[in-house]
């Protein structure tokens, strides 16, 4: 009796590559990069599939076949999605200047994995910086991604004064952060850097943050730079007055006490008013200034009244009838003379009471209409009485209306 033994050799069912493609791409979309690592090798060699994979996640390039990691089309697509994907590319391509230029044009972060020689290439670094400064890609509210590609540049370029300043001019405030220590310690360099990008103050040395000239240059370029200044400067009244005069946006970063100082607030608002280009915005700021001045004068007692407040108001706002009435109402005669001279005459110093020529010229200027606008009869009478008390006729001034000779003063058109 014979027995026939039949052996069956197990043959696995054919792989459904289409189903696996769908599964892997879905996993990549959800951030699971390991899904491709365990995928069928046929997928890792499939250019069309790998193009789809790196579009989902640039780092999927690391699981591509050796041939595809040298495929320029696949690599550039990966870099477009994630600049750091260049690290998975063939080493020869990282040294290919033409190819790396294309890569950094797509994503400036690719510079990090370019060859040492190419990271010392000025054109490539600047192209990377320009790409990374794309406003729509990186700007969210008040946050700007640290995007200066100088952090990936060679040490040689980080020591290059003109090159670092150029990168700051393009918009990379963090260029100072990655500049060499020698440049950070160069006061002239830091001053120039602040003129290019005030926000870079946040990366300056502690010594620079205490330097009034450096901080003022930064604030002039970007009011928000005061945020990074030394606390002593942010609480220094004289310094903060200078800062908000250059840029009203700086007020929000002054000490809490100084933010409530009427003269500093008026100065900041007037600075914003001068810089505003939109007519509606200018009108709103003007209303804020007028309201602040009137409220300040009406609510303060005589001992605490800021006599110099009007001095800080912009010239054309100072002509506003409510401002004029607030001056007449709240200041004594002597204070009005002080305000009048401080706001009407440049270059005045010393005892102004003794310079009657200047006093008479100021009276003449104001008499042209400044204090007569919207004044009540009693206010006009008070003004005439004030003139009789302090003013004296001056034929030369009345006749010619010219600036007094030898006084060195100029009368602005208030």
What span, in angstroms and rounded, lies between the C-alpha atoms of 218 and 104?
Answer: 30
pLDDT score of 147 more than 70: no
The pLDDT value given to residue 358: 54
pLDDT in tens, 317-364: 766 667 666 766 766 665 665 555 555 443 333 444 445 565 566 666
Give the lowest-confidence range in 81-85, 250-254, 312-316.
312-316
**DSSP state letter for 342:** H
The pLDDT value given to residue 347: 35
More confident residue, 331 or 130: 130
Q: Is the dihedral of CA 159, 162, 165, 166 positive or negative?
A: negative
More confident residue, 129 or 255: 255
pLDDT in tens, 72-102: 999 999 999 999 999 999 999 999 999 999 9
Give the phi and the psi of residue 330 in degrees, each rounded to 5: -105, -15
What span, in angstroms and rounded, lies between the C-alpha atoms of 362 and 403?
Answer: 10
pLDDT in tens, 368-403: 555 555 566 776 777 677 667 665 544 333 333 333
What span, in angstroms and rounded, lies between the C-alpha atoms of 306 and 297?
Answer: 8
pTM of the model as a whole: 0.65
User: Which ranges in 4-121 belong to alpha helices (H)?
Assistant: 17-29, 34-37, 41-44, 47-56, 72-81, 91-94, 97-106
pLDDT in tens, 151-187: 899 999 999 999 999 888 775 678 898 999 999 999 9
């Amino acid at each position: 009796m014979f027995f026939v033994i039949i052996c069956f050799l197990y043959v696995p069912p054919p792989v459904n590559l289409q189903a696996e493609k769908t599964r892997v791409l879905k996993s990549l979309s959800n951030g699971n990069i390991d899904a491709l690592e365990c995928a069928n090798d046929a997928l890792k060699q499939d250019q069309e599939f790998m193009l789809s994979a790196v579009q989902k996640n640039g780092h999927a390039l690391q699981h591509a076949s050796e041939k595809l990691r040298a495929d320029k089309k696949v690599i550039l697509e990966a870099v477009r999605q994630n600049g750091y994907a260049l690290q998975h590319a063939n080493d020869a391509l990282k040294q290919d200047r033409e190819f790396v230029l294309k890569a950094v044009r797509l994503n400036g972060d690719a510079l990090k994995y370019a060859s040492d020689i190419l990271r010392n290439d000025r054109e490539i670094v600047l192209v990377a910086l320009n790409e990374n400064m794309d406003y729509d890609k990186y700007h969210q509210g008040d946050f700007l991604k640290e995007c200066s590609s100088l952090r990936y540049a060679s040490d040689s370029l980080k020591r290059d004064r003109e090159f670092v300043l150029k990168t700051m001019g393009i918009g990379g405030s963090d260029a100072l952060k990655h500049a060499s220590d020698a440049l950070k310690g160069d006061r002239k360099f830091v001053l120039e850097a602040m003129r290019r990008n005030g926000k870079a103050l946040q990366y300056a040395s502690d010594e620079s943050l205490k330097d009034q000239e450096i901080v003022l240059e930064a604030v002039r370029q970007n009011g928000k730079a005061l945020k990074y200044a030394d606390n002593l400067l942010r609480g220094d009244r004289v310094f903060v007055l200078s800062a908000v005069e250059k840029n009203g946006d700086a007020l929000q970063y002054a000490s809490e006490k100084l933010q409530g100082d009427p003269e500093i607030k008026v100065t900041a608002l007037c600075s914003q008013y001068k810089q505003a280009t939109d007519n509606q915005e200018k009108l709103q700021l003007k209303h804020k200034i007028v309201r602040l001045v009137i409220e300040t004068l009406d609510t303060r007692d005589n001992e605490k009244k800021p006599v110099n407040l009007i001095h800080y108001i912009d010239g054309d706002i100072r002509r506003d009838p409510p401002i004029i009435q607030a001056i007449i109402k709240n200041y004594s005669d002597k204070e009005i003379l002080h305000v009048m001279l401080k706001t009407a005459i440049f270059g005045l110093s010393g005892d102004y009471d003794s310079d009657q020529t200047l006093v008479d010229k100021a009276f003449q200027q104001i008499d042209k209409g400044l204090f007569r606008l919207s004044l009540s009869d009693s206010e006009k009478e008070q003004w005439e009485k004030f003139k009789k008390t302090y003013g004296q006729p001056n034929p030369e001034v009345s006749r010619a209306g010219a600036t007094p000779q030898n006084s060195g003063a100029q009368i602005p058109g208030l």
